[in-house]
Amino acid sequence: MQLCHFHAGLDKPLFLIAGPCVIESEAMAMNTAAALKTLTDELGIPFIYKSSFDKANRSSTKSFRGLGIEEGLRILQKVKDEIGVPVLTDVHEDSPLDEVASVVNVMQTPAFLVRQTNFIQNVCKQGLPVNIKKGQFQAPWDMEQVVAKAREVGNENIMVCDRGTSFGYNTLVSDMRGLAQMRSTGCPVVFDATHSVQQPGGQGMTSGGQREMVPVLARAAIAAGISGLFMETHPDPSKALSDGPNMWPLGNLRPLLETMKELDDVVKKHGFIENSLLG
């Protein structure tokens, strides 16, 4: 499908959705967007900048939730205009959807809200491409019903995104089979490599993360076969105001992207032999 300025699909090069979890300041947003644009331009990777204006579902109300929607959208607009990259943000049930849609290029829905029919349909009605995250409590094939609901309101530009599945307590597992199974939705499949290494709850006030597993899962997902990779990154994750333990350091991104790009080329050149066997 057409996504911003490029095409997305298993027969197209991998695209990247990346940025800091939450907008911490205008300077930080502009700097990270500029660095990511430079890097992805050099490597020839289609890129969408991601950052949140509000984190509605923090473990504790003592955690940073963002600069607020007005300031957040102003900064995203500036990133879009001055850095020249498309921008994506996530919306929640109390987000002013039309206001957000007037600024961003792509909308994203949170995993926890995937079963909220009104919400999913209201987001999709905005007419922008939507990245729908699979619930941690869902099977890959459950996304077919979700996509059917999304399409009912006339939006054909839907992506499905895996950010892990509940596996015992306070643990997620990434089932690489799911990335292939979700092809049955007809949507580009995206793998979220940084939320997939979260250790939800279980640490008291905040969630933990296994940053060292980001490259392992990112490489695995690309070799399994995906259209896009989602990854949160930060100049200094240890100081990040949200999701520090699972973000990838911006300074270490280049070698990871180089490997990913080359893997994606190899896999897509050879094609997906399983597709002849998938139902």
Total number of residues that touch its own copies (CB under 8 A):
78
Within 105-124, the residues that bind its own copies by CB under 8 A are 112-113, 115-119, 121
Q: Which is nearer to its own copies, 212 or 239 (CB)?
A: 212
Q: How far apart are CA 194 and CA 111, in angstroms?
A: 14
- 129-148 positions binding its own copies, by CB under 8 A: 135-139, 141-142, 145, 148
Within 220-239, the residues that bind its own copies by CB under 8 A are 220-225
Q: Which of 41, 167, 186, 238 binds its own copies (CB under 8 A)?
A: 167
Give min distance, CB of 2 to its own copies, in A.
Answer: 26
Give the C-alpha separation, 198 to 206, whole Å: 11
Helices 253-270, 26-43: inter-axial angle, 10-degree rounding: 40
Any contact of residue 262 with its own copies (CB under 8 A)? Answer: yes
Q: Tell me the one-letter amino acid at 143.
A: M
**CB-based contact 227:10 (threshold 8 Å):** yes
What's the closest the beta carbon of residue 171 comes to its own copies, in angstroms? 5
CA distance linking residue 146 with residue 185, whole number of Å: 9
Contact status: 210 vs its own copies (CB under 8 A):
yes
Tell me the window of 17-25, 125-133, 161-169, 238-246 that interacts with its own copies (CB under 8 A).
Answer: 161-169
End-to-end distance of the chain based on CA atoms, in angstroms?
22
Binding residue for its own copies, selected from 174, 185, 233, 246, defined by CB under 8 A: 174
Residue numbers 1-30 binding its own copies by CB under 8 A: none
Query: What is the signed CA dihedral for 218, 220, 223, 225, rounded to 10 degrees?
Result: -70
215 sits in which H/E element: helix 214-224
Part of the chain binding its own copies (CB under 8 A), chosen from 13-21, 72-80, 198-206, 231-239: 198-206
CB 249 within 8 A of CB 234: yes
DSSP string, 68-97: -HHHHHHHHHHIIIII---EEEE--TTS-H
Please select the residue that binds its own copies; options are 13, 170, 184, 235, rule is CB under 8 A. 170
Which one of 165, 198, 233, 246 is in contact with its own copies (CB under 8 A)?
165
CA–chain centroid gap for 263, Å, is 20
Is 84 or 201 the residue whose CB approaches its own copies more closely?
201
Shortest distance in whole angstroms from residue 116 CB to its own copies:
6
| Shortest distance in whole angstroms from residue 86 CB to its own copies | 27
Q: In what helix (H) or strand (E) does residue 34 lie, and over which residues does it extend?
A: helix 26-43
